[in-house]
Structure formats: structure tokens, C-alpha cells
Amino acid sequence: MGNVHLIEHPLVQHKLTLMRKKEASTNSFRRLLNELAMLMAYEVTRDMQVQDIEIETPLEKMTAKVIDGKKLVFVSILRAGGGILDGMLSVVPGARVGHIGLYRDPKTLTAVEYYFKMPQHMHDRDVIVVDPMLATGNSAIAAVDRLKELGPKSIKFVCLLTCPEGIKALQTAHPDVPIYTAAIDRQLNDHGYILPGLGDAGDRIFGTK
């Protein structure tokens, strides 16, 4: 599958396994998601531009590299995206943040937008969209459709888990958007849940079920 980055690092896989377990508490699920997001941030920002600045160590002057975190926008798809957002922000604290509120119509499984708030000057920024589950792909496609209207420099999509159906849908609609994921599971069920998956990510993060 082109343009899909499967993050197979042992730490990522280990934490994901713990999160999948049905007995994982809300507290540990949230903590693990946070840690996983930090590790995934490492992968997804690998090609970020760096610039040279002059600094002084206690011993001498040197030229050293820094990133411009402000050029990066993490766009969280509400509400489950917040779980990944926190971890990513702890690694790139200078990043800007956008939110897209989308809910899945339970009958049609299509995405309905109820909120959209982005930083200014999006054409100058690289966007990383975060949502733990890329399932039908409908929310991801709707989010990327809307973001492209603002003309950002680039868009990447980060999820914890996906399935062949979700990848196919997003790649068909937006072949230019790379997908970063910790696992590609077997399939979707009739309700749009990923199997074997980890259940409803939002409910598990917020303890709402």
C-alpha cells in the first residue's frame, strides 16, 4: 500500500496491545495513547525542515539546528483526536492547533461537520491531522476536503489503527495524503467498527461507556 507508513517500533506495538485489551482502564488507555502519540510524533515529523541558528554553549559558539514548531498545525478530529493531540503537543509544544468537529451519522456512517476552527495563514503551514481510528474513512476524507480549501503546504494523516477499507477510501479520495498508523487490522464490521480493533476510541479515552 503506497503512502502508508506502518510504525512497527516495538514500543509502539507493545503499548497498542495494552490499549486493545478490554480490561484496560480509562486511565491507562489515556496514558498509553498519550505515550503512543509522542512516539508517533517522532515518526511523522521525521522530514520536518530544520534551520541553523547561532548559539553559545558554556564552552563556545556553534551553529545548531532547530525546527519552527509554529509552522506545524495539529488538526484534531473531535472528539477522539484529542487523545493523540495531547501527546503530540508534548513533543512539539510550539505547534498550532486546529479542531474539526465531525460526527458519524449512525445510519449512513457519513461524516457531518459541526465545528471548524483553524489557525490563520494555513497556506504557510504543514498540517498533521490526528484521529485514533481510520475506519470507513468518511471523517478523514471530510476533514481533508475542508482543509484543502485553505491550501496548506502539506497534509499528513495520523491514526493509531486502520483497516484496508479505511486506507482505500482515504487514498482514493486523497492519494497525496500519507497515512501514518501503528496497525492495519483485518476489516470493518457492519457498524463501521474496526476488527479486532480496540472498540470505540472516544468512549475508551473519556470513559463514556
Among 87, 98, 178, 197, binds ligand URA (CB under 6 A): 197
Reply yes or no on whether 68 is catalytic. no
Q: Tell the burial category of 186 from Cβ atoms under 10 Å away from its Cβ (0-12, 13-18, 19+).
A: exposed
CA distances from 128 to 89, 139, 140 (A): 12, 15, 12
Please state the closest distance from residue 206 (CB atom) to ligand URA, in A.
Answer: 11
Q: Does 135 bind ligand URA (CB under 6 A)?
A: yes
Find residue 194's DSSP bridge partners: 188
Of the candidates 157, 102, 108, 165, the one whose C-alpha atom is nearest the C-alpha of residue 135 is: 165
Please state the closest distance from residue 201 (CB atom) to ligand URA, in A.
Answer: 4
Residue showing cell 473531535: 78
Q: Pick the catalytic residue: 108, 124, 146, 162?
A: 108
Q: Name the grid cell of 165.
A: 477499507
Rounding to the nearest 10 degrees, give the CA dihedral for residues 194, 171, 75, 85.
40
Please state the closest distance from residue 188 (CB atom) to ligand URA, in A.
Answer: 8
CA distances from 89 to 48, 75, 83 (A): 15, 11, 11
Q: Does 194 bind ligand URA (CB under 6 A)?
A: yes
Q: Does 133 bind ligand URA (CB under 6 A)?
A: yes
Reply yes or no on whether 124 is catalytic. no
Q: Does 193 bind ligand URA (CB under 6 A)?
A: yes
Q: Does 35 bind ligand URA (CB under 6 A)?
A: no
Q: Does 24 bind ligand URA (CB under 6 A)?
A: no
Please state the closest distance from residue 66 (CB atom) to ligand URA, in A.
Answer: 36
Reply yes or no on whether 176 is catalytic. no
For residue 88, report the phi and psi dihedrals to the nearest 5 degrees: -65, -40
Q: Does 141 bind ligand URA (CB under 6 A)?
A: no
| List of residues contacting ligand URA (CB under 6 A) | 80, 133, 135, 192-194, 197, 200-202
What residues act catalytically? 104, 108, 200, 203
